[in-house]
């Protein structure tokens, strides 16, 4: 069973629909026992980092998430959910994250060449840097995935699995042990996204 954490800021319907189309058992929850009982956990997220971090803390699940990740249970962060995996974010101030992946989240606007718009919205080719990673068992460099974000993960090169070009190599996917994250939305990325979710279900 895949537990999807419900803390008020996720695109849960599309994600659940994608997972169920793959025949995967899912449960949307904010109960610690469900995370303990699950085979895998997904942390979705859209919106602002500080607000999402506060809402996640309010669920009382942070310690459970950390314990499950430390025990080696596969955990997937999606979009803002991936950003929450990092040590900190500089989105409208400085805010601590879960600290499960080394690195930090910084503004795209300060790094992009002139003429490129923020937020970064649209389809980009996924450039897989670590093709041997099982998260990309069914993926290839011809895959395009869908992004919607104004901040991106930086100073995380050792843990970066894939990037997409948008004026700079935007961190597209990361791994630290059993914890993986994708900046793009697999549930909005068509067949390429479904293949990635399928691979996650087999980790």
Catalytic residue, candidates 79, 91, 95, 156: 79
pLDDT value for 55: 96
Q: What percent of the chain has pLDDT over 70?
A: 100
Q: Per the structure block, which two tokens stand in for 14?
A: 């599309």
Q: Structure pTM?
A: 0.97
Average pLDDT over every residue of 186-201? 98
Find all residues with CB under 8 Å of 7, minimum gap 6, and list them.
Answer: 30, 52, 55, 56, 58, 59, 61
pLDDT at 126: 97
Question: What's the pLDDT band for 111 if we cut at 50, 70, 90?
Answer: very high
Distance CA 75, CA 68 (A): 8
- Domain ranges for the chain: 2-201
Q: Which fold has domain 2-201?
A: Rossmann fold (3.40.50)
Please confirm, yes or no, whether 79 is among the known catalytic residues. Answer: yes
pLDDT tens digits, residue range 5-50? Answer: 999 987 799 999 999 999 999 999 999 999 999 999 999 999 999 9
Q: Which of 16, 132, 185, 202 is catalytic?
A: 185
Catalytic-residue membership of 187: yes
Alpha carbon distances (Å) from 67 to 70, 75, 158, 162, 179: 5, 11, 23, 26, 12
pLDDT digits (tens, 9 = 90+) for 49-103: 999 999 999 999 999 999 999 999 999 999 999 999 999 999 999 999 999 999 9
Residue tagged active-site, from 16, 104, 149, 187: 187
Task: Specify the DSSP element, H or E, that contains 34.
Answer: helix 32-37
């Amino acid at each position: 069973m895949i537990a999807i954490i419900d803390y008020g800021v996720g695109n849960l319907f599309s994600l659940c629909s994608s997972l169920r189309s793959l025949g995967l058992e899912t449960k949307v929850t904010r109960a610690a026992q469900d995370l303990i009982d699950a085979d895998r956990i997904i942390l979705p997220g859209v919106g602002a980092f500080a607000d999402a971090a506060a809402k996640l803390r309010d669920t009382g699940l942070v310690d459970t998430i950390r314990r499950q990740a430390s025990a080696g249970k596969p955990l997937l962060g999606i979009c803002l959910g991936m950003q929450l995996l990092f040590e900190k974010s500089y989105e409208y101030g400085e805010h601590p994250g879960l600290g499960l992946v080394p690195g930090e989240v910084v503004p795209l606007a300060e790094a992009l060449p002139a003429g490129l718009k923020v937020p970064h919205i649209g389809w980009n080719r996924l450039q897989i840097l670590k093709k041997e990673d099982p998260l990309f068992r069914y993926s290839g460099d011809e895959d395009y995935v869908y992004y919607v974000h104004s901040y991106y993960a930086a100073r995380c090169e050792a843990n970066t699995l894939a990037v997409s070009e948008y004026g700079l190599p935007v961190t597209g996917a990361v791994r630290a042990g059993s914890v993986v994250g994708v900046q793009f939305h697999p549930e909005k990325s068509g067949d390429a996204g479904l293949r990635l979710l399928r691979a996650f279900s087999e980790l």
